[in-house]
Amino acid sequence: MRVNRISASSEALGGAGAVNLGCACDIVIAGGRLLRNGASDTFILSTPSPQAGCALYCTFRDTGRDKNRYNVTTVYEWLDATGIDHELPGELLARRT
């Protein structure tokens, strides 16, 4: 598969001065990133999605909770059917260290 984009939204994203809760960050991978069977990779979500009231950079906000929920969407295409994007929605519970 080729991963083309990953995005995440959470009330723990937004940054100083952000008005909205639930801002989003994403990464668009030029040319995609290839993942073969059994492979893993690390993606860093560093680009803010354009949303009114959200910070101009991706950063984490202290919600006061032990864990925060992130809604994550991965956009990918199969190598034998390029040009057809598929979306894989998911949820992540994470603790900020």
The secondary structure element, H or E, covering residue 73 is strand 68-77
Residue pLDDT, tens place only, 45-81: 776 666 666 766 677 777 888 888 888 999 999 999 8
pLDDT confidence of residue 97: 63
pTM of this prediction? 0.76
The CB density around residue 73, as the number of other CB atoms within 10 Å, is 15
Q: Using CA atoms, how far apart are residues 54 and 17, in angstroms rounded to an integer?
A: 8
User: What end-to-end distance do the CA atoms of the chain give, in Å?
Assistant: 31
Structure tokens at 20: 């909205």
Average pLDDT of span 26-45: 88
What's the CA angle centered on 78, arms 76 and 83, to 5 degrees?
Answer: 75
Closest by CA to 24, choosing from 6, 8, 5, 11, is 8
Q: Using CA atoms, how far apart are residues 17 and 39, in angstroms rounded to an integer?
A: 39
